Structure 1
């Protein structure tokens, strides 16, 4: 049986799993994807709900963002239950 993995970073999931709506609930999304807590925080710190709606169910499209790409490279070698504070998105 294949070990479940994070929708965003593809690392194995640990004990703490959150459900991410690729299309935000506020924009009519109902489907969810399992993600690490830290990955979920990084998504919402990097993108607005409008940007998440535009990307939809495509983690590769999100990963093309330089800020998220840096996060994904950094988190790639971390254990499944690793967590650290997430930097907030800077207001333009």
Structure 2
């Protein structure tokens, strides 16, 4: 039999789970679940980039399917610059209608396949 003090201590030690605040993808604007997080160097590491930001895995893969590292380093090194590109605008309009844990394999663009 457990006394009143021990029972109060047990109840006090039970932690109420605090809902996790999910980060928001700077490309598509949706919350990123833990299973779909990728760290992206807006300036590629091979071009001297150090900072990373969390993106949806599908957004990250789409960026690298469409653009080479040199192009990313020179002119597409911010989320705003990426969102100004017509190919990314089409992709973002499509992916925003999907659930936050949606993933589909990305294909390289025709221009990237030729390079």
Q: Does 1:90 align with 2:104?
A: no
- C-alpha distance after superposition, 1:22-76 (max 9, x if no partner): 00000000100000110000000111111111222x2121112111110000001
SS in 2 for 1:11: coil
Q: Comparing both chains, which one has the higher relative contact order based on Cα–Cα distances under 8 Å and sequence gaps of 6 or more?
A: 1
Q: How many aligned residue pairs are there?
A: 91
Picking from 25, 47, 55, the partner of 1:27 is 47
Structure-2-length-normalised TM-score = 0.72
User: Following the alignment from structure 1 to structure 2, what is the Cα–Cα distance between the partners of residues 79 and 52?
Assistant: 27
Gaps of 5+ in 1: none
Alpha-carbon offset, residue 2 of structure 1: 5.6
Gaps of 5+ in 2: 1-19
Q: Does 1:59 align with 2:79?
A: yes
Structure-1-length-normalised TM-score = 0.89
